Amino acid sequence: MNDGIAYKTQKQPQKRGEVLICDLSVEFGKGEKKTIALTPTDLELKPGTFTALIGPSGCGKSTLLNAVAGFVTPTSGAVYVDGRTVKKPDESVGVIFQNFALFPWFTALQNVNFALKRLDLSRAERIERAHIALEEVGLSEHAKKYPGQLSGGMKQRVAIARTLSSDPDVLLMDEPFGALDAQTRLRMQELLTELWSKREKTVLFVTHDVDEALRLADTVYVMSPSPGRIVEKISVDISRPRPIDQFGEDFLTLRKQILQLLREYENE
């Protein structure tokens, strides 16, 4: 009879991947050359949630993401990942860029394997993990190909496999599909939704594309430049998957709202 109570009071394992951004601001340069890339910003990314940042060029999207990644030092405030202050890049946070950043002289498998060398794994374990990661992104058959022999979408799949193979709790993606053609981009959005649902990572995703943000995210933050800041939080309460040809009224309303915001702040 007591089983239910015992179960409820048992401490549940804590989900990892909580990101807290507290009073974070970033300035570059000094004096007349000073750029306020990001004014003081507070943001909370709950474990396993998908957040998109959208806004015009120069509004501080990459700066915000790079501060979470530990690539940029805050001028004020701090970023915490699972309670730890971010001071430098860390294995618990994976980053994926638009330009894939693969080594051209390594095969797909070798690229993933190379990234795993940071971890304390045997060579056999590394190779096994690399194969599993490539399989997850549907690239098993291309494991032995070099980046030059792969399409843009395939290269980005290798980059995703490489990052996921280290099993980070947080995934930062800076316009990852920006260089891909429209069809490939849609397929990559589907793959990412699938991987995210399965692996329960906390994702922070930068994009210029309103439809992409609405297709992927739980929450979309709209940003504005000069100085860089968040101007609106939009909750996307639409069930997944979100097929592009079945977007309903709720989607169209949010799209209109975001486009209006982007236009409004563009003319400020």
The only residue of 41, 49, 62, 163 in contact with Mg ion, by rule CB under 5 A: 62
- Chosen from ligand ATP, Mg ion, none, partner binding at 28 (C-beta under 5 to 8 Å by type): ligand ATP
Smallest distance from the beta carbon of 129 to Mg ion, in angstroms? 30
Smallest distance from the beta carbon of 227 to ligand ATP, in angstroms? 9
CA distances (Å), 128 to each of 16, 69, 105, 159, 201, in order?
A: 24, 27, 21, 17, 21
- Chosen from ligand ATP, Mg ion, none, partner binding at 58 (C-beta under 5 to 8 Å by type): ligand ATP
- Chosen from Mg ion, ligand ATP, none, partner binding at 94 (C-beta under 5 to 8 Å by type): none
**116 vs 214, which CB is nearer to ligand ATP?**
214
Smallest distance from the beta carbon of 136 to Mg ion, in angstroms? 27
CB contact set of 125 (below 8 Å; sequence gap of 6+) = none
Rounded to 10°, the helix 182-199/152-165 angle is 20
**152 vs 178, which CB is nearer to ligand ATP?**
178
**61 vs 215, which CB is nearer to ligand ATP?**
61
Nearest in space to 162 (alpha carbons), one of 111, 118, 120? 111
CA atoms within 13 A on the CB side of 15: 13
**48 vs 225, which CB is nearer to ligand ATP?**
225
Alpha helices, DSSP H, located in 100-181: 108-116, 123-136, 152-165
Amino acid at 174: D
**112 vs 203, which CB is nearer to Mg ion?**
203
CA distances (Å), 109 to each of 25, 126, 225, in order?
A: 39, 10, 40
- Chosen from ligand ATP, Mg ion, none, partner binding at 228 (C-beta under 5 to 8 Å by type): ligand ATP
- Using CB under 6 A, list all residues that contact ligand ATP: 28-29, 35, 37, 55, 57-63, 228
Q: In the structure encoding, which two tokens stand for residue 48, read together? A: 């396993």
- Chosen from ligand ATP, Mg ion, none, partner binding at 47 (C-beta under 5 to 8 Å by type): none
Contact between 207 and Mg ion by CB under 5 A: the answer reads no
Beta strands in the chain (DSSP E): 19-28, 35-45, 50-54, 76-81, 84-85, 93-96, 170-174, 202-207, 219-224, 229-235
* Residues near Mg ion, by CB under 5 A: 62
